[in-house]
Every structure is written in C-alpha cells, then in structure tokens.
Structure 1
Amino acid sequence: MRSKSKPEWIAGLPEDWELSKVLWHYDVQLGKQLKEDEIEGDHLAPYLRNQDVQWWEVNTEDLPKMDFHPRERSKYELHQGDVLVCEGGEVGRSAVWDEENMECYFQKALHRVRPHSSEYDPRFFCYFMEFGKKSGLFSAGTNQSTIEHLTAEKLKRQVIPIPPVDEQEQLADYLDEERETINRLQSNYEELISRVLELINVKIRDTVTGGINHSNKKESGETWIGEIPEHWDVVRTRFVAELHSGHTPDRSNDEYWEDTDIPWVTTSDIKPFREGRKRYLHETDNQISEIGMENSGAHLLPERTVFLSRTASVGFSGIMSKPMATSQDFANWVCGEEIIPEYLLYVFRSMDQEFDRLMQGSTHKTIYMPDIKSFKTPLPPIEEQREIVEHIETETEQLWELIDRVDEAIDLLEEKRQALITAAVTGQIDISKEKGVIQGDD
C-alpha cells in the first residue's frame, strides 16, 4: 500500500516499490527490562545490551545473563535474520543477527525487527536504518524530552521503501560488496596513519634524548632516555620546573560554582591532545569561581604552564596559553630559567614507556604524585632546547600534512559510502548498470 504523500527523501521511488510503515511489513519488539532480582534464576540465558550492537556487528562474547521464563522466551528470543535496532544511545544503530545455533535474547535498550516474510532481506532494512540515521531522519521522530530515544511505536510508524524481494537481495549484495571495498581501503588508510604517528613519535623521542647530529654520547642512567650527548645533563624534572597539583572545589557548596570565570582544566579538555599534534590549550570546557578556588587546593597557574594528565587519560600533555587552574587529575609544571615549556612538553611526549611503568590501578590507571616527583628529564643547554623544538616542528610538519590528506581520503570514502546507501535505498540505482562504482587499490 502506497502512502498518500511521499517524504522529500523518497522522491523518484520506482513504481514497483511500495512506500509503507514498518509495522505493515515487520514485527517490532522491544527487549526485556533488566531487573535486579532476575540476574539469578533457573532459566538464565545470555542477552544483548545496547553496547553489544554496533553498525553491522553484534558482540557475542562474554554476554551477561538474565532469567528468561519459558513464557518469555518466544517473545525475546533472537532468530537468524532478525535486525537489532538501538532504542537509545546512537538511536537507530542497527545490525543483523546472523547466528544460527546460538540461544540469545535482548534487553529493553534494543528493538528486534523481524520481517513478516522470510523472503525479505534484513540487510536492506539495516541499510535503510543507516541511511535514516546519517541523514537525520530519526531525529524528528524520537522522544527528546530527556535523552534521545526511538520508541517502538515511532519505529513501527516509520515510513520505509519496500522494493520487490529479489531487488532487495540484489541491492544488499551490491552494497555489501561496496562496503567491503570501502572498509578495506579505510583500514589501509588508518594503518598508514598509525605508522606515520609512530614515525612522528620516534622522531620526537630520538631528538629529545639524542639532540641534533651529536656523535659523542654517554649513558644517561635512565632506561627510557638511553644515551644522551656528552654535554647534556639528566636532572629531576622538579629541579628545573616547579611541580604543582590541582584540585576540585566542594561541589556540594553552590556558592563555589557561581560566577565562574577562571579557566579550569579537566579531563574533558584532553581529547584534542591525544593525537599529539596540539600543543596549546586556549579555552577550557569548565570554569571555577574565585571563591571556589580560594577554598580548595586549586590555584591559578601562570601562562605557559605545562600540564600533564595523571589519571584516566594518563600521559597527555599541553601548554596553557593563559593563566588557568586544574583539577587534581593533573600534574602541572612551571618552567624555570633552565628549561622551556615546549621542550618539556616534548619530553613528556617521549615518556610513554616510563608512564606505562609507573601507572597503578587495575581499572582506573593513575600515576601518583610521589612517582611524578621522581621524573627525570634530559637537559640540553637552553639554546639547544630551542633548536630541538624548532627541528621537531620542521621535521614533523609534512608528516602531519600527510595525515591530514589521508584523513580527507577516509572522509571522502565515507561520503561515497553514504551516497551509495542513499541512492540504493531510495531507488536511484539501476542495479544492472551500477557494478564497480567504487574502485581502488589496496
């Protein structure tokens, strides 16, 4: 049955395709709500959570178990060919359940979409869901009063195109082939980026510890440093840079969190520094107030302070471009006359091996302050430090540009992938003429 009005995205739908609501062709079932008293019982069975369903992939390893009574099993059991759709989180994220002999069920955070006819290809439905998510189709159809959700009722009433069954399979096969090709190319590009990043890290580490064109070396006495030029020293970092910790004002005192205007570095600011390209922090995600700072262990640190994350995201570092305070998740270094911040920054970015040795904790990794006080740094003369920083910047500039170009290539592949999916699920592809649209070498 064809809908009275076509959505804009479906213009040009072939005449032999239907435009229907999901409920007319598929059974939609929301999963079972997890209850604490049902994690034990006589009918324990594995179940899927939202995080177990990623685009085109379903995790089946180390699944939790819940009690499913016999009367519930047919309602929540998964069959080969079912489509799993995320109800929350990344709304609409979907994958096909392809296990033939595995008993498994699903939690309330997921919908199970099962075609009324075994001839329907579940992959085509999954591709439509990917098109819908990437094009924003579901945003208008979700409940956004608190957290975005795609309810069963709204999913059932979502309008979808229904091609003839043989064409569903042909389109799904075609998109599978193109997806495999694009995934392979993207994987190769990502491997290239990984290798270039490692080359950058090696260049930084070798220059920070060995200088530029020095042949006369001596042992530093530190494993992570190795040999250094004969005229260099190795010193405790706190002897050339003042070490400061940070703090968080009492969150139960509302007065401390009013009129906040002091930049306050937290772990939420670390993400841009993970790759190792960004050097300076100009703005922070959070601020604290003057009174909050005065009544806590936090204090304002001067411009060009080097900060180093020591908990959660351990080992990431940057330089403050203006006075800032930090949370207790950071060790902060105010450089003295014998060391410049940019050189110290590159020292920290060479210390992965040392950070791995010093981290403690099974779940939340941390480097504790006594170990941070023991940090040592190779110390060239100040002018040589400036030369080293300039050399690193010059040597790595082209490598970062290469990474930019590869990132652009990955983005273009993803755009092509989405364009193909859009064309396929909206009937704009003549499958007999569209073989080999995406071509590429490994």
Structure 2
Amino acid sequence: MNEDWLIYALRSEVFRQQMDLHTRGATVQGVNLFDLRRGILPIPPLEEQRAIAEFLDHHTARTDALVTKQKRLLNLFDEKRQSLITQAVTTGLDSTVTTQSTEAQWLAEIPEHWDVVRTRFVARLESGHTPSRSNDEYWEDCNIPWVTTSDIKPFREGQKIHLEDTEYKISQLGLENSGARILPEGTVFVSRTASVGFSGIMADKMATSQDFANWVCGDEIIPEYLLYVFRSMDQEFDRLMQGSTHQTIYMPDIRSFKTPLPPVEEQREIVEHIQNETEQLWNLIDNVERSIDLLEEKRQALITAAVTGQIDVTENRDETHATHR
C-alpha cells in the first residue's frame, strides 16, 4: 500500500463519516482501535494509489498556497485593526496637536490637553465572587446573570462589545451570602485570571465571578472608550501577569491601572471613529474567512473524490508531470 495514498484516504470525508458513527465519550470523544480497524475504504491497485497521491500532492499544494496567502491577509487586517484602536485611544485623532510624555509604562506620549489618571479615579472598581458551592440553597432559583470565564469566548477575537446574557446564573440568596454584587448596565469587565485581558460591556445588570475586574464608569469617562483602552493594553497585561500555569493579574496591580483621559466629547469622537473604521475591517476579515472556508471545503472534496474514484486522475497525470518539470 502506498503511504501517501493512505494518508489522503484517512483524511477523506468517507472515512471521517465512518469514524463519526463510532465516536464515543461525553467529555473527551474518541474512536477505539477496534472500530478504527473496521473502517472500510476502496483500495485501488498500487500504481493507481501512487497516481492519486501524486495528483493530490499537486492540486492540494495549490490550494494550500492560496490558504496561506489568505491567512497572511487576515493577520495584516488584524494588526491594522489593533493598531487603529491603540493609536486612537493613546494619541487621538488629530496628528497635529502638541504632545506630552507620561509616566505610564504602556503609554509613550499623549496629546497635551489630555490627562493620565488612575482608572479607579474615574471608574469605580468592583470585584466579583462565587457563592459557596457546598450550600445547595445558594444554587436554587438562579435568575441573576453572572459573568464567568465561560462567557469570554465570543470576546476573544475583539469584535463583540456587549454581553447580553450569561451562561450561568446565581440566586438572590447566593448573592446575599457572597461577595458578589449586582453591577449596573454599562459596567466594563476585564478577565483577570486564566483568559487574561479580555473585555466587554454589560448590556444589563449583572454580577461576576472573582475572575473579573469590573469598572463602573463615572461622569468623566464613557464605557466604550474605557473598553478600547483596555483593548490597547495587551503589553501591560503581559507585564503584570503572574503565575506559570494559572496566570493572574492581582487586584493591587489592577488598582494601579492608568488611563489616558481626553475630554468626554473627544472620547465619543474616538469611539465613533474606531467603530466606523473597524466595521470596515471586520467586513474584510469576514470575506477572507469565507474564502478560506471555501478553499478548505474544495480541498476536502477533491481528496474525497480522488480516493473514492470519482476523478480519473490518469487524465490529469500529464498536466501534473508537466507542471513539476
């Protein structure tokens, strides 16, 4: 048997579908060796196996090259998006203004008419808590939205802004017997353990677990602007994280956060600019991701068609050899 052909055959949709029928496990799914051996594949003559493998090497290489280019484009769009946000919240929209240096480690220079303040001076800092798991009464009649690390996944890419609902809820009794508090709509939350540095805005009243630092904005700062500030602080988060396995930013460091602070009206202009510009970039990113999906589907369909004999690879053999010369 030709090894290259076998690899393609095992990647085919036909083989995957057979394995899906035998997949077991609630948490970690897998296929046992007995079922794996029972996989049925049409096996052509050895010479044809070689021809199929050669054909697929040639044609999938083209697709792989296109996918690589598209992924490179995705990275460029993402870098541009991040750079746009960082520049807007640290230097503003007017490149002609006079600047001043700052003592904040993650900031270089800001416009002269801006301030740099401790974040907790313009937004009230709140932590969260988890009601005792050993008391079953605390976990009955749960209807209060409760932000946990399970809610972070949609915020990882940076497109989502508002959290409308939570995966888990807590009860009023649990809330009253813990350090958790119900925080108002518009509170900005930042994950500080495990998945460190991901941020969003509460679209309703919610409580959070202790895995979050929460900021209730005062009159001097708007939630959307503060959110984009946090989304510009990756290097600062990396500097402050502690722990090799379970990384955390501790509350004393969070209390020391500093924020560039333009006038409120300028904050609104910055937020509007970021949202307009990043919306265009997200549209481009969506288009590229769809292109990648289509290319990978085409690659998968080609592999399946070739190893199941739906394509006569001998008709393409001369073309393949000519291209390799």
State TM-score, norm by structure 2.
Answer: 0.92
Q: 1:212 aligns with which of 93, 96, 99?
A: 93
1:150 aligns with 2:31: yes
Q: 1:389 aligns with which of 271, 276, 291?
A: 271
Offset at 1:133? 7.5
Q: 2:229 aligns with which of 331, 334, 347?
A: 347
1:170 aligns with 2:51: yes
Q: Which one-letter code corresponds to 2:270 in the other structure?
A: I
Offset at 1:258? 2.4
Higher relative contact order (CA 8 A, sep 6+): 2
Q: Which one-letter code corresponds to 1:242 in the other structure?
A: R
Q: Which one-letter code corresponds to 1:296 in the other structure?
A: S
Q: 2:299 aligns with which of 410, 417, 422?
A: 417
Q: 1: CA distance between counterparts of 2:208 and 2:14?
A: 38
Deviates more, 1:409-418 or 1:124-133: 124-133
Q: Which one-letter code corresponds to 2:35 in the other structure?
A: K
CA contact (8 A) 2:129 2:210 kept: yes
Q: 1:426 aligns with which of 308, 317, 322?
A: 308
Matched with 2:103 is 221
Q: Which one-letter code corresponds to 1:351 in the other structure?
A: M
Q: 2: CA distance between counterparts of 1:369 and 1:412?
A: 45
Which aligned pairs between 1:28-427 and structure 2 lie closer than 5 A?
A: 120-132=1-13, 136-144=17-25, 147-213=28-94, 214-427=96-309
CA contact (8 A) 1:236 1:374 kept: yes
CA contact (8 A) 1:241 1:336 kept: yes
Q: 1: CA distance between counterparts of 2:290 and 2:281?
A: 14
CA contact (8 A) 2:144 2:169 kept: yes
Relative to total residues, which structure has the larger strand share, 1 or 2? 1
CA contact (8 A) 2:14 2:304 kept: no
Give the structure with higher Rg (CA).
1
Distance 1:407 1:231, change over 3 A: same
Matched with 1:92 is none
Structure 1, residues 378-424: CA drift from partner, whole Å, max 9, x if none? 11111111001001112222221111111111101111011101101
Structure 1, residues 259-309: CA drift from partner, whole Å, max 9, x if none? 222221111211221111111111222222222222221121111110001
Offset at 1:220? 2.4
Q: 2: CA distance between counterparts of 1:188 and 1:275?
A: 20
Name segments (4+ residues, structure 1) moved above 6 Å. none
State TM-score, norm by structure 1.
Answer: 0.68
Q: 1: CA distance between counterparts of 2:44 and 2:226?
A: 62
Offset at 1:323? 1.1
Report the 3-state secondary structure (helix = DSSP H, G, I; strand = E; otherwise coil) of the residue aligned with 1:228.
strand
Report the 3-state secondary structure (helix = DSSP H, G, I; strand = E; otherwise coil) of the residue aligned with 2:54.
helix
Distance 1:267 1:417, change over 3 A: same
Deviates more, 1:407-416 or 1:277-286: 277-286
Distance 1:388 1:145, change over 3 A: closer
CA contact (8 A) 2:97 2:112 kept: no
Q: Which one-letter code corresponds to 2:150 in the other structure?
A: S
Offset at 1:126? 2.7
Report the 3-state secondary structure (helix = DSSP H, G, I; strand = E; otherwise coil) of the residue aligned with 1:248.
coil
Q: 2: CA distance between counterparts of 1:158 and 1:139?
A: 11
Where structure 1 has 5 or more consecutive residues not aligned to the other structure, the ranges are 1-119, 438-442
Q: Which one-letter code corresponds to 1:253 in the other structure?
A: N
Matched with 1:38 is none
CA contact (8 A) 2:15 2:39 kept: no
Q: 1: CA distance between counterparts of 2:22 and 2:244?
A: 42
Q: 1: CA distance between counterparts of 2:100 and 2:4?
A: 63
Offset at 1:134? 8.0
Distance 1:174 1:313, change over 3 A: same
Q: Which one-letter code corresponds to 1:160 in the other structure?
A: L
Distance 1:186 1:159, change over 3 A: same
Offset at 1:172? 1.6
Identity of aligned residues (%): 60
Distance 1:150 1:393, change over 3 A: same
Report the 3-state secondary structure (helix = DSSP H, G, I; strand = E; otherwise coil) of the residue aligned with 2:310.
coil
Structure 1, residues 193-221: CA drift from partner, whole Å, max 9, x if none? 11211111111111101111142111222
